[in-house]
Structures are given as C-alpha cells and as structure tokens.
Structure 1
Amino acid sequence: MTEETTIPAATAAPLLEPRDGIPPVIDNPDDLAKVIHDFAKGEGPVAVDAERASGYRYSSKAYLVQLRRAGAGSALIDPTACPDLTELDLALADAEIVLHAASQDLPCLAELGFRPRKLFDTELAGRLLGYERVGLGTMVETVLGYRLEKGHSAADWSTRPLPEDWLRYAVLDVEVLVELRDALHQQLAEAGKLAWAQEEFAAVLNAPPPAPRADPWRRTSGIHKVRSLRGLAVVRELWYLRDDIAREADLAPGRVLPDSAIVTAALELPRTTKALTEITPFTGRSARKHLREWLAAVGRARSLPESELPQPSMHGDGPPPTNRWADRDPAAARRLAAARAVVAALADEHHMPTENLLQPDAVRRLSWEPPEVLDDEHVTARLRELGARSWQIALTARPLAKALARLRTKSDA
C-alpha cells in the first residue's frame, strides 16, 4: 500500500448527516413504484446495502434495504412491507451493483427477487489491493477521508418503527459507497489487478448456495469438551430441539438456549428438573418455558441403545485436519508446507492475503492428492477442478508444480 492511497485517520472528517437528508422508509407499492422509476432513470453504479437481524432472529432475511444512485438520490425500503423487489431488479438489470462484502447480502437480496448481474464488491477490492482492514467504516476513512459511525451495525433491524438515528446510519452506509467504488476501481487499474477483481466479482455472483451442512449440531461451541458418545447424543437432541423452538419463534437459537448450556447438560446428564435448573442458562426467560422438553430430550439421549449413539466426527470426502497429516501421511504434510510457502511468498509479492491469492481448501486438496504428473499442465487442471480462478492459476500453477515436483524428486532419490 502506498502513502498516496491512504488518508491519516486524524484528518478524517466525520460523516454525520446524509447530504439529502433521511428519506422516508418505503412501505407501500405506490412509493416503491416511484423509487423504481427514479432509479431506472438514474445514472451509473447503484450502491446497495441490506440490514438483517443476525443474533436476534432465526431467519437471515433483510429487514431494510438501502439504495443510492446518481440522479435518484437515496432510498430506504422496508422488505417486510415490500417483500417483492423483482420490478426493481428488472429496472436495474444493466446496472453495476456496488456492495460491501457482497456474499453476506446477496442471499437475503435474492429472497426479495433482487439478483445483480454486474457486481463491484468494495470489501473484496480492498483485500486484493492489500488493505489490512477492510470493514466499510475503515475503508471509507482510509480511502476517502470520511469517518462513518458504525454503532448500529449489530442492532435488531426487525424493530418497528426503526429509530431515526438507525435510519441515518443506514443512509450513510450507501452515501459514499459509489465514491469508494470509484477510488478502488482506479487503484485496481493502476495496480494491474482490475481484471483479477472482475473475475472475483463474477465468481461471487455465480457461487452456488452452500450445501446443507451434515450434522450441523457438531458445530456447537465447546463440543470438544464432550468426550463420551452419550454426551454427544445429548448435544444432538438438545441442538435439534432448540432449532425447532427457535425456528417456530423466529428467534436466534442462542437466544433460546446458549451453546454453553447444551454442553454443560451433555457433561452432567441431568435426570431431574431440579438438576437441569442448576445449570444457570436453563433458568433464562426463553429456556424456562421449555424445561419439560429439554429434560425429555436429555432422557431420550440417555435411553438410546449403543448402536444409535453418534460417532466421533468424520470429515467428509476431503482431507483430514492438517494437524494430523504428519502422522497419517508425512509426505503430504511436506507437500502442504511447501505449497503454503509458495502461496505465502506470492501473496506477499502481490500485496494481498494468501486466502485471496488461492483458496486454502484448494491448497490443502492439491497437497493431499496431487496429480500424478507434476507439471504446469496437470497442476493447472487440478487447480481448475478445485475452483481456482484463471488469474489465480496463472500466478500459482507453475510455482506450485515446481515446488511439488522438487519434493517428489527428493523423496525418490
């Protein structure tokens, strides 16, 4: 990063008020139609943001959508009142949509029928340019010299009516997003990384939805403390019960019952309501309503035959955890160390995080199961199978092939 691309924090000017004021929240079809008309007539990229209620609600749907475009100004749309944005999507089909950390917002926008065809992701651009901190507030401050207030980012946006200071914050999130896009676009072009960024943006847009996770209960925080199969059965029963309750109430699962309570119950295996309520989180307002159900879930786990108890975690069809490689396959562990060193050196040379130069999973899978022939052509084909983009392959395939071939030669000698 050069000094010319950053602005000292001490000189950043606070961005306190939207230049056009806070627009009214759109909550009816007539007003939405006017916004669509205005934005269709606007010019240039469209800044978009969405606010969810993560940590409060079970769903990850949007509770506010913010837009800004030259010639149209800013708009705030309430998706609970206007849940169909397909007409807006059609009106902006040819426009470039500017999002920050697009992969977070694209799913909830798609639920509303809004699916960008062209994307500029300011967070991803910042990563490719080597910015150490790529949060929106930091990027705006560093690149543009404005200081954004980020105090409401973790608010419960399902609240109605939304407080005025929250709406001000929401408008400011898109106020200078296109200006940030323009500055980063220029920096990408000057660094010779614009084509790389465009390929990354396209990959974000075209990424398939993640496959449902097998055994999602195994991601319970603190589950590593549970060593018995019977205890794992308790975790499983309580996790699925909590998930059903949370979905029905549209509450974040942790607000129904924290992970720590599930793990403690798995360790202590309570037999009575009294024993269960001695685990403090079970006395919380949401958890207390379902004491009988929690205890029944523990009872089901206690009574399962041995043959139905969950087994220790298996790791799908991918490589095992890398901390086991040295014991299971020392040659693979050496390949991984060599491949990581190559990627780290190239990432440093091109001023970006290693995970953006080449996905860590691709590095692991290439190292665990390399092609039989370690040359440019075969390593390129393997990386392409693993989802690497063309620009990533162009930078990494040959150095990786050389490093892995060198190791194989040494081991054969």
Structure 2
Amino acid sequence: MMIHPLVTDSEQLAALCALWENAEFLAIDTEFMRENTYYPLLCLVQVSDGKNVAAIDPLAKNMDLKPLLDLICGNENILKLFHAGGQDIEIFYNLTGKTPHPMFDTQIAAMALGQGEQIGYSNLVNLWLGHQLDKGARFTDWSRRPLDKRQIDYAIGDVTHLAELFPKMLDKLVETGRGAWLDKEMERIANPENYANDPETSWQRIKIQSRNPDALGRLKALAAWREREAQHKDIPRGRIMKDETLSDIATNPPKDQHSLARVRGLSGAWSNNDIGKRLMGVITNAKPMPKDEIPSKKRGVTLGRNGSHVADLLKLLLKIRSNEMDVAPRLISKADELEKLAAGVRKDLDLLEGWRYDIFGHEALDLVEGRIGFTVNNGKISTFKTGGEDENKPADAILDMAAQNDDNRDNPAPEKDTQI
C-alpha cells in the first residue's frame, strides 16, 4: 500500500482524487473538534482505497476539498466504508448538503455477525485482524498545528485497517447469507433527513412537563431562536442557554427584560444587553402551539390488559432467537416495535417484512396470536406449538397457562416441562 504524507495543498489532493476515481471502495474516517463550535470543526480526513492511503488537512491554507467531497458525496459508483459513521456523515452533510452513498458501516455489519450491538473499532480490529491499536492519540487536539508523526500514523491506521476489514466481513456476510440484512440499515443511516438540523423542530429534543399550548408555543419559538443564534455565532447551543433554562423560561416567562436578571442560568447582563432584548422579543411574539401539534405525554402505543407482559414475552423470544442465530437483537427488532406488535399493530412494522419476518417476525406473530408458547426443560427455555384448541389463543391468555402448572411447582415431576 502506498502511504502518502500529510496532504496539505489542493494540487496534491486533486491528484489523489484522480487515483481514487475508479476505486471499488473508499475507507473513510475523520478527526474533528466540536467542543467550541456549533458545527463540528473538521480537522483531518483519512481515506484509503486499499492501495493508496492519505491523511488530508482541511485546515491547510487555501485547501480546496471539492474534489474529495465530490468523490465521497457525489460518486455513486464507489462504496464508502465507515465504522460507526454517524458523526463523519454529519460532517459531510454539513459541508455539501448530501450524504455519502452507497455506504457500508462495519459496526452494523458486526451486528449481523453476532459481535454485539455497538462493538468498538479497536475490539473489531483485534477480533478480525489480530492487531492491537494504539489509541494514545485519540483525545489529542486535532485542530492544533503542526500534527506530529504519531497523530498522523494513528489517523492513517484507522482507514488502513478499515480497508482490510471490509473484504473479510463481506466474505462472511456472503457465506452466512446475511448481506441483504444490512441494506435497509445502510440506507437508513445514509438518509440526509437524519442530519438536517431544522431550528423549527429543535424544541422536540427538550424536556418540558407542561402541556399548556402557550408554554409549548414559547418553547418552540425559543428553541428555534437559540438554534439560529448558535448557528450564526458558530458556538454550541448550550453556550447561548441550557435546555433547563430554556424550559423554565417557556413555562414561567419573565414579564420584562429587567426580570431576566433573576432567571437561573442567565447572567445579570441579559437584563440590558442586545441578546436579552432579542429573547424578550421572541417571548412576546410566540404563538400558542396548535392542539394537533401538542405531543402526548405517553410515547409509543398504549398496551392493553397484560400487554406489557406480552411485550416481555416477545423480548424473551427475540433474545432466544438472536442467541441461536448469533446476531445482535437490535438489528432484528427494537423494543418499540415489539410493544406495537403486542398492542395489536400489524402495519408498517419492519419485523413483519422481508428477512426480519422470515427469521423472527412470523414467530413473533404466532406468539402474540397464541400459536406458540414457552417451555422450560432441564433449565433451558424453548418454544412449542400450542396446537389444537389453543391455536388461535391470544398471547395474554397464554400467560394464564402458567397457573396450570401450580401443582407441578409444588410437586415437580422431572419428566414434565414448565410451560408459560
């Protein structure tokens, strides 16, 4: 593999991008800082096609990243490789308004191969390649120049190993027939809507107890205002105002700007400065939230009688099946989907479609509709078909089957199973 020194000028970068234009894949990683800015400050981009690897310095004087961004976010013929790439993708979205596509995330691939739900990169490299990574440079200040050799070696090493990991993981996915499992997850991660930061929806991230339309209207207006202030100044939103303070002001608005001096979380200067004046203007002009926009206190579905127990049985079934198949449970189904299924929802559930239905969804449906139950034999939990008159018994009724075993619990017989 040709390792290029730190790329610090546009001509070098353009030449490298010409080499990468016909690549089968590009392994990509970034180093960034976000402690003092609203948008993550991109400090380094590492790229490898398995033949040429380089670290590119976006902070170098007059650096033009366009050829690289065109490759990463514009070339649909090249597969882009990441590990836990959410923050990397966010950076490219902020720079271009687009996301890398198509893409492959090794952390998600590891879920399909039974290596945990959020395996770290170091552990993945050690597991697949037998390399112990030096993570000493991980928490350095990547915005400082010059970068030393250890930092550059560390950064380049990440994409070098990523390029080695990909073909090995791909072969295993093909061997196990699980490659198609990842398609929808990869498309979900690449969806630009995940990275759009709309000030008008920022209020939804803030906790507030009140469901009063006036308070929620102020919350929405204040959150959007804070977001725009932070974007304009390019500082973290918390530097403008903490969530707790914003929520308090929305619930108990000050009568005038002078009263801002008594608001916990704001300095006394807000009582007579320009930002305090702008804040009071937002409070004064805020409109009550329309009733159809007011969120319910209860999130998700409302479970009926024994519904939570049915959801617990579904989670147990998922744990059993995922252990048997050696796959991360979260890749098959998430808790909220299981709760919806337990509550009677049958439409728009991923677990009732495609490969998820084939390996788990059909059995989950059988459990909810009473066609299977659980048995404990020699300490091991497994499922059984209820059969006969129990074939269409609802899952909450299956819970009552446990009562039939009371006598067996008092006088256990070794030849019998315990059924739930």
TM-score > 0.5 by shorter chain: yes
Rate the CA distance shift 1:237–1:208 in 2: closer, same or farther, 3 A: closer
RMSD across aligned C-alpha pairs, in angstroms?
4.3
Partners of 2:339 and 2:81 lie apart in 1 by: 32
Aligned to 2:311: 336
**SS across alignment from 2:369:** helix
Corresponding residue of 2:409: none
Matched, 1:242 2:214: no
Tell me the equivalent position of 1:377. none
Give the structure 1 partner of residue 266 of structure 2. 282
Counterpart check, 1:325 vs 2:310: no
Q: 1:348/1:315 Cα in 2 relative to 1: closer, same or farther (>3 Å)?
A: farther
The aligned residue for residue 37 of structure 1 is 18
Within 5 A, what are the aligned runs for 1:253-292?
Answer: 253-273=237-257, 275-279=259-263, 281-283=265-267, 290-292=275-277
Match of 2:205 in 1: 219
Tell whether the 8 Å contact from 1:257 to 1:281 is kept in structure 2 after alignment.
Answer: yes
Residue 67 (structure 1) shift:
0.2
Contact 1:116–1:205 under 8 Å retained in 2: no
Structure with more relative contact order (C-alpha pairs < 8 Å, separation 6 or more): 1
What residue in structure 2 maps to residue 100 of structure 1?
Answer: 83
Tell me, yes or no, if the aligned pair for 1:234 and 1:266 is still in contact at 8 Å: yes
Counterparts of 1:61 and 1:362, CA distance in 2 = 36
Which amino acid counterpart does residue 73 of structure 1 have in structure 2? V
- Does residue 81 of the first structure (1) align with residue 59 of the second (2)? no
- Residue 58 in structure 1 maps to residue 46 in structure 2: no
**1:114 and 1:235 mapped to 2: Cα distance?**
30
2:325 is aligned with 1:346: no
Matched, 1:146 2:123: no
The aligned amino acid for 1:34 is: A
Residue 311 of structure 1: CA displacement? 5.5
1:394 equivalenced with 2:358 (yes/no): yes
CA distance in 2, matches of 1:206, 1:342: 30
Determine if the alignment matches structure 1 residue 123 to structure 2 residue 87. Answer: no
- Closer, same or farther: CA 177–101 of 1 in aligned 2, 3 Å: same
AA at the equivalent of 2:16: V
Is the 8 Å Cα contact of residues 148 and 172 (structure 1) preserved in structure 2? no
Q: CA deviation at 1:298?
A: 3.8
CA 1:388–1:83: 2 relative to 1, 3 Å: farther
Deviation of the 1:197 alpha carbon = 4.9
How many Å apart are 1:124 and its aligned residue? Answer: 0.7
Cα pair distance change 1:412/1:169, threshold 3 Å? closer
Select between 78-87 and 137-146 the one with higher mean Cα deviation.
78-87
Larger radius of gyration: 2
Report the residue type matching 2:324 in the other structure.
Answer: E
Extract unaligned runs of 5+ from structure 2.
Answer: 372-391, 399-420
Output the amino acid matched with 2:68. Answer: L
For residue 233 of structure 1, report the CA deviation from its aligned partner.
Answer: 4.1
Separation in 1, partners of 2:27, 2:307: 45
In 2: Cα distance, 1:330 partner to 1:214 partner: 38
Check 1:177–1:393 CA distance in 2 against 1; reply closer, same or farther (3 A cut): same
Equivalent position of 2:406 in the other structure: none
* Structure 1 residues 48 and 404: CA distance shift in structure 2, 3 A: same
Letter in 2 for 1:88: L
Q: Work out the CA distance in 1 between the residues paired with 2:27 and 2:269.
A: 41
Match of 1:252 in 2: 236
Q: Is the 8 A contact 2:221 2:282 kept in 1?
A: yes
Q: Deviation of residue 261 (structure 1)? A: 2.1
Deviation, 1:127, is 1.9
- Once residues 253 and 350 of structure 2 are traced to their aligned partners in structure 1, the CA distance between those partners, rounded to angstroms, is 43
2:169 to 184, 190, 197: 184
Separation of aligned partners in 2, 1:390 and 1:300: 49
What's the secondary structure of 2:5's corresponding residue? coil
Map 1:197-208 → 2, pairs under 5 A: 197-200=181-184, 203-204=187-188, 207=191
Q: Secondary structure at the match of 2:66?
A: coil
Structure 1 Cα separation of the partners of residues 126 and 268 of structure 2: 41
Q: Distance in 1 between matches of 2:81 and 2:27?
A: 5
Normalised TM-score (structure 2): 0.69
Q: Equivalent pairs: percent with the same residue? A: 17
**In the comparison of the two structures, how many residue pairs are matched?**
367
| CA deviations over 1:240-273 (Å, ceiling 9, x no partner) | 2211211222323123222122133345533354
